[in-house]
Amino acid sequence: MLDGGVGFRDTHRVVDDALPDIPVPPDLFPSSPPSGASGCPVGAPAPGAVTAALGAAMTAELLSGDAARIEAQVLEILAAAQHRPVTALLAEDAAQDGSPVLDSMDAVFVIQIVEQALDGSALTLRNNSEPDDFGSVRALARLLQRLLGARRVSA
């Protein structure tokens, strides 16, 4: 500094030196992100998940307007992405509506797959969805039914 005062770097050093050394638990900042069953970082799709999910998505079924058919497609997309049979998904914990509980990240993944299956047409979630729409397979299917129905009407 021009006035002979203490500059930022000097102040930073003084503050750092004044703080006590606090031990940090080794697992607080892991050197690599936590891995899921697939070996991928948690939240990242497994290798080949997008390709498998896109292969499972059937546009005619998604655009059918039938909630049960859309729900079946959501299950097929999730099963393909996770490289598991649909029966394994159905055996997991059930939400209040009786369908498998869905993690919100998986719900967003399914929505992205549906958008890609529909030639990249974005579905408008803002003002058209509630947090509960992402909690179970059936709730997500109903959300998709609404969004796809609105898309058909506006087209």
Q: pLDDT tens, 97-115?
A: 999 999 989 999 999 989 9
Answer with the residue of higher pLDDT: 77 or 151: 77
Q: Is residue 28 part of a domain?
A: no
Q: Is residue 96 part of a domain?
A: yes
First to last CA, the chain: 64
How many whole angstroms separate alpha carbon 40 and alpha carbon 142? Answer: 30
* Total structural domains within the chain: 1
Q: Is residue 103 part of a domain?
A: yes
| Ramachandran region, residue 120 (left: φ > 0; alpha: ψ -120 to 50; beta: rest) | left
The string of pLDDT tens digits covering residues 10-62 is 444 555 555 555 554 454 444 444 444 444 444 556 667 888 887 777 888 88
Closest by Cα among 52, 74, 60 to 143:
74
Q: Return mean pLDDT, the chain.
A: 76
Q: Is residue 142 part of a domain?
A: yes
- Domain, as residue range, for 69: 49-154
